[in-house]
Amino acid sequence: MILRIIRTAEETKGQSLEMEWEILPQADGTPVHLHPEAQETYRVLEGQIEVNVNGEWHHLHQGEEITVPAGIPHTFRNPTDYITKVYNTHSPAMQFDNYFKDLNKVVARLSAQGHQKLEPNFNTITYMSMLMKKYPKEIVSVSPPDFIVSLLNLIGKARRLEV
> Does 62 score more than 90 pLDDT?
yes
Instruction: Report pTM.
Output: 0.91
Which residues, in sequence order, are CB contacts of 155 under 8 Å at separation 6+? 126
Which residues, in sequence order, are CB contacts of 150 under 8 Å at separation 6+? 129, 133
Using pLDDT thresholds of 50, 70 and 90, give the confidence band for residue 88: very high
Q: What is the pLDDT of residues 101-155, one digit of tens each?
A: 999 999 888 887 767 777 889 999 999 999 999 999 999 999 999 999 999 999 9
Q: Rounded to whole angstroms, what are the CA distances from 88 to 82, 93, 130?
A: 18, 12, 23
Peptide bond into 73 cis (omega under 30): no
Can you give the residue ranges of every domain in the chain?
A: 2-91, 96-158
Q: 2-91 has which fold? A: Jelly Rolls (2.60.120)
Mean confidence (pLDDT) of the chain: 94
Which residues, in sequence order, are CB contacts of 28 under 8 Å at separation 6+? 75, 77
